[in-house]
Structure 1
Amino acid sequence: MSKPYPSEFRDDVVRVARNREPGVTIEQIARDFGVHPMTLQKWWRRMVPRSSWVEVTVVVSV
């Protein structure tokens, strides 16, 4: 089993992900920090209040 990441590291990665520039993906940030994208998403869900999540609406034209 791998050693857990320090909380300061997790906080920094989530902060960078939250403040990323348009066009930068979670996958790119995860890769830059050497973590799996699903790991970053898990940290995000634990640290970022749900009320601050961005809602995405998809509109389909027929």
Structure 2
Amino acid sequence: MYGSLGAYLRVQRFKKNLTQEEVAKAIGTSHSMIGRYERNKTRPRKDKLQKLADFYGVDIEKFTKG
């Protein structure tokens, strides 16, 4: 559907009209790391993935499916 975890994260952020900085602050990381996640340069650790899922109000399974 989205093609990648990064694309899904970006869509979720856009749906909430948030900046990378706002998401980063909410989950305790840097905006540059959010950018890396969204560009598929790195994958979030499980704890950050759970924080992202909670923040966006989605089941973590949405993030872990290919």
TM-score range, shorter chain: 0.3 to 0.5
Larger Rg: 1
Q: Which has the higher contact order (CA 8 A, sep 6+)?
A: 2
Choose between structure 1 and 2: higher helix proportion: 2
